[in-house]
Chain A
Amino acid sequence: MSNIFINDQGLPFCKGCGHSTIANNTEKALAKLGLKPLDVILVTDIGCHGIIDKSFNTHTVHGLHGRSVALGAGISAGITNPDKKVIVFIGDGGATIGMQHIIDAAHNGYNMTVVIHNNMLYGMTGGQPSEYTPMGFKTPTKQAGSTKFSYDICKIVAAAGGTYVRRVMGIGDFSDALSEAFGRPGFSLVEVMEICPSYGVKSNPEMKLSKVVENAGLATEVIADLPAKHYVTDRREALPSLFSPSDVIPAQAGTRLQAETSTHGELRIMMCGSAGEGVQVAAELLARAGIRAGLQVTKKGSYPVTVGVGFSAAEVILSPEAINYTGTVTPDYMIITSRDGLDFGKKAAGRMKSGKIYLDESLESPVTGAEIIRFPFREKTGARNASFMGVFYFLHDTNLLPVEVMVNSFNENKISKKVSADQFLQLLSA
């Protein structure tokens, strides 16, 4: 019978190489399943086994050393037709450097079959040992034999959730094992134990493959056989835009920045407090108030990577004109509501030659040319609300924006369900 999947150019491997046996068994297994060549996408790794792609009439994809399983997983996830079959050919070398991809693909249950060509060494690069080289097995670069146990990839993959996992001896006809795996939806893996005549046999002239496998404690059997289940890519059509009309912030007629500002009308306000004390939200609400007042606005946050502890700082720029540069220049105003905030903000305060710093009463004054205004933000409203109080106080004192825009901005946020803007306003009028 002539081949369907393998063309007649002949296989590219050394005489007696187990890789040829796998190719021929693959032909048989696919034919048994009644598949057509272009139903199959053969993904091959780098290594001797990987140069097989030219011999196959299937679609072929030939990528990097060790990454073929991840590449095949991407292909599998990108296919909507479940009748397409993704098969990955990889060596024990590729299955070493890329083991995580195998575990991951099994774990996710991608619809694909991985065939590990385990000749127990790196063939293409000259027969160095892999992590699959059994104890005592000799290789050209380790003539005394490997001193450690080989991986049992089948057990690992079974534990990771592979639906069909099997180890076979790469001798004779094992096409039934392959067709069982190819025909099974979900992630399947067949580890084929084989020999590399050029390096393996030469280094271990006395060896018998079956003995090596047995000594290594690798059972040639079905290791996992679970009901078929496979990953189906969720394609979420027509998700809503990230921008919705309700994001539009209404401008309140007649309001504008009412102050002398530093450079080009830009006004920079720096807020410094502690994590968990509403600094970022307060700064955002101030920024939104600015937008309501018809201004252009930017806001940046600074905090340590451990966002729940330490300082939290924000810089807001308000301007009647377009704002370009948002980097650190000297702030016009600072609102400092905690010890962490003061420590962080000291440098900026030191640069200020004018302007005002609203400082929590519990803190000592930083060295600065700015006027310092003290208020017991923390004591009056509690630490959690100190930043909001700071912003209201700042607007009340400077009259830079009408307080109503801040109230509106505040009431729009869910924070207003916990604390009312009136509380701040009452403290201000007191």
Chain B
Amino acid sequence: MKEKEIIFTDSSKLITESLVRAGADVFIGYPITPANLLYAYGERRFPIFFAAPDEITTLQWMSGFAVTGHLPVTATSFPGYALMIESVNMAYMMELPMVIVLIQRLGPATGTATCGAQGDLNVVNGTLSGGYPLPCLSMSTVSDCWELPQKALQMAADLRTPVVLLSSKEEVMTYRSIDMGALAEIQPVKRKAFSVKEPYLPYAPAENLVPEFRPVTQDEHQVRITASTHDQTGIIQNTTPAALGNTARLARKIRKNLDHYLYYDYDRQEGAKTLLITYGITTQAAIDAIRDYRESGKKASLLVMKTLLPVHSKYYEICNDYDHIIIAEENLEGELRKIMFGQADSPRVSGVNKIGQMIEPGEIIKALEDHE
């Protein structure tokens, strides 16, 4: 057996290192707790690091870098993300690859910067005007913090879209002993080689509905990038069928390719009638809760969602096998619960919710017991 190589690290470091190994080459940062470790590591590790004067500039600079062929990254928390939203819409419409690491903390507003939370899923889900799906992956374990950043970057590059990589304070600031030797190798993101098709139309989709990317740095083809409603030429149009078709394609390209980026852990127990669903920081408590619950001779399954948005149909297939579903998440009203199952109360779906403190395993066990 290989000798263990135990190191003591926080997950911000894993995320940063993974992104760089995957080929992200630009980090634009604006300080905000609890994303500051990512900023600090980004400064040390990314080939190109820029300190932006604000988060709108952050996203604009990232977009500029993306237009020139780079793969940019930033890390922020809700107040910064809120400022970025119009620019995220722009990057989505322009079809620019980038990863936004969103570290959740207690809101609303400035809230408590030093307290973790899972309160931003609705914001991410509602980022795009028109309800278009913005991909969001969520890290739940140490190995996720190593492997998912690469996958987020791959998805961003493949689908030419911003991808939100969701985490929270406790996840990225807690130090853990980890076996460095057991970490999977991070493969560099492969970007599709440009295949010359004449005439070049900047927004003509390939078979997977993603247009081929050409940077503005080359001088063979004229590139037109725009955030206004446009057709395949990249020229602003009113609501012509061609332009509306192009805008609708933005949603279709994400959904069509989503299977390739579907990540979850499903710990199914034969005979269980209750499914516990969770994501992010609450996963750790859920794993402990399920273990203890099962040790007491009872049955429940656990689904940890990593590809959170758009919600993949596979999750509903899994849910169909259960009489009762409990969703545990560190927010007041159940953001994932409402995104998945709507606003109406349902006897079949309930939540374990809390703010200001991590959900405890005991609280999840109690919810499981309430539904026996």
A residues engaging B (CB < 8 A)? 36-39, 41, 46, 51, 53-54, 57-64, 67, 70-81, 84, 100-101, 104, 233-237, 239, 241-243, 245, 247-249, 251, 264, 284, 287-288, 290-291, 295-305, 323-329
**Residues in A whose Cβ lies below 8 Å from that of B359:** 327
**Residues in A whose Cβ lies below 8 Å from that of B62:** 74
Further 19 A-B residue pairs, CB within 8 A, beyond A62-B225, A62-B226, A80-B217: A51-B236, A67-B56, A70-B57, A70-B60, A71-B67, A74-B67, A77-B50, A78-B68, A239-B20, A242-B16, A248-B5, A287-B8, A290-B177, A295-B177, A297-B176, A300-B170, A305-B114, A324-B288, A325-B361
B65, B176, B360: the one within 8 Å of A325 (CB): B360
Q: Please, how many angstroms separate the alpha-carbon atoms of A235 and B70 in the complex?
A: 12
B343 at the interface (CB under 8 A from A): no
How far does the Cβ of B31 sit from chain A's closest Cβ, in whole Å? 12
Do the beta carbons of B284 and A64 come within 8 Å of each other? no
Per-residue contact bits, chain B 53-67, to A (CB 8 Å; 1 contact, 0 not): 110110011111111
Can you give 19 A-B contacts (C-beta < 8 A)?
A: A36-B219, A51-B236, A53-B236, A70-B60, A71-B60, A71-B64, A73-B64, A74-B63, A78-B217, A234-B48, A239-B20, A241-B45, A248-B5, A291-B6, A291-B8, A299-B175, A324-B284, A325-B360, A327-B284
Do the beta carbons of B47 and A235 come within 8 Å of each other? yes
**Residues in B whose Cβ lies below 8 Å from that of A46:** 228
Do the beta carbons of A75 and B64 come within 8 Å of each other? yes
**Residues in A whose Cβ lies below 8 Å from that of B239:** none
B287 at the interface (CB under 8 A from A): yes
Across the interface, name the chain A residue whose C-beta is closest to B235. Answer: A54
Do the beta carbons of B60 and A241 come within 8 Å of each other? no
Do the beta carbons of A75 and B216 come within 8 Å of each other? yes
Do the beta carbons of A299 and B174 come within 8 Å of each other? yes
How far does the Cβ of A391 sit from chain B's closest Cβ, in whole Å? 16
Q: Contacts A73-B64, A284-B175, A300-B170 hold; do A251 and B4 have CB atoms under 8 A apart?
A: yes
Ranked 9 nearest A-B pairs via Cβ: A74-B64, A78-B68, A327-B358, A70-B60, A74-B61, A38-B219, A75-B64, A62-B226, A324-B284
Do the beta carbons of B57 and A101 come within 8 Å of each other? yes
Do the beta carbons of A63 and B177 come within 8 Å of each other? no
Across the interface, name the chain B residue whose C-beta is closest to A81. Answer: B217
**Residues in B whose Cβ lies below 8 Å from that of A81:** 217
**Residues in A whose Cβ lies below 8 Å from that of B235:** 53-54
Count, A-B residue pairs, CB within 8 A: 220
Per-residue contact bits, chain B 328-372, to A (CB 8 Å; 1 contact, 0 not): 000000000000000000000000000001111100000000000
How far does the Cβ of A311 sit from chain B's closest Cβ, in whole Å? 12
B window 171-204: CB within 8 A of A: 173-177, 180
B25, B224, B283: the one within 8 Å of A60 (CB): B224
Q: Contacts A62-B236, A284-B8, A328-B358 hold; do A78 and B53 have CB atoms under 8 A apart?
A: no
Q: Please, how many angstroms separate the alpha-carbon atoms of A235 and B48 in the complex?
A: 5
Do the beta carbons of B67 and A61 come within 8 Å of each other? yes
Q: Please, how many angstroms separate the alpha-carbon atoms of A327 and B234 in the complex?
A: 50
Q: Contacts A243-B17, A305-B33 hold; do A249 and B44 have CB atoms under 8 A apart?
A: no
Do the beta carbons of A79 and B6 come within 8 Å of each other? no
Across the interface, name the chain B residue whose C-beta is closest to A69. Answer: B60
B118 at the interface (CB under 8 A from A): no
Do the beta carbons of A74 and B60 come within 8 Å of each other? yes
Interface centre among B5, B41, B64 (most CB of A within 10 A): B64
How far does the Cβ of B6 sit from chain A's closest Cβ, in whole Å? 5
Do the beta carbons of A296 and B33 come within 8 Å of each other? no
How far does the Cβ of A408 sit from chain B's closest Cβ, in whole Å? 14
How far does the Cβ of B57 sit from chain A's closest Cβ, in whole Å? 5
How far does the Cβ of B143 sit from chain A's closest Cβ, in whole Å? 11
Do the beta carbons of B6 and A329 come within 8 Å of each other? no
Q: Contacts A53-B235, A76-B64 hold; do A326 and B90 have CB atoms under 8 A apart?
A: no
Do the beta carbons of B61 and A77 come within 8 Å of each other? yes
Do the beta carbons of B175 and A327 come within 8 Å of each other? no
Across the interface, name the chain B residue whose C-beta is closest to A37. Answer: B222
**Residues in B whose Cβ lies below 8 Å from that of A291:** 6, 8, 177
How far does the Cβ of B211 sit from chain A's closest Cβ, in whole Å? 15
How far does the Cβ of B42 sit from chain A's closest Cβ, in whole Å? 10
B69 at the interface (CB under 8 A from A): yes
Do the beta carbons of B60 and A329 come within 8 Å of each other? no
A37, A84, A301, A324: the one within 8 Å of B217 (CB): A84
How far does the Cβ of A248 sit from chain B's closest Cβ, in whole Å? 5
B174, B285, B357, B360: the one within 8 Å of A298 (CB): B174
Do the beta carbons of A327 and B236 come within 8 Å of each other? no
Across the interface, name the chain B residue whose C-beta is closest to A237. Answer: B47
Across the interface, name the chain A residue whose C-beta is closest to B64. Answer: A74
Do the beta carbons of A63 and B44 come within 8 Å of each other? no
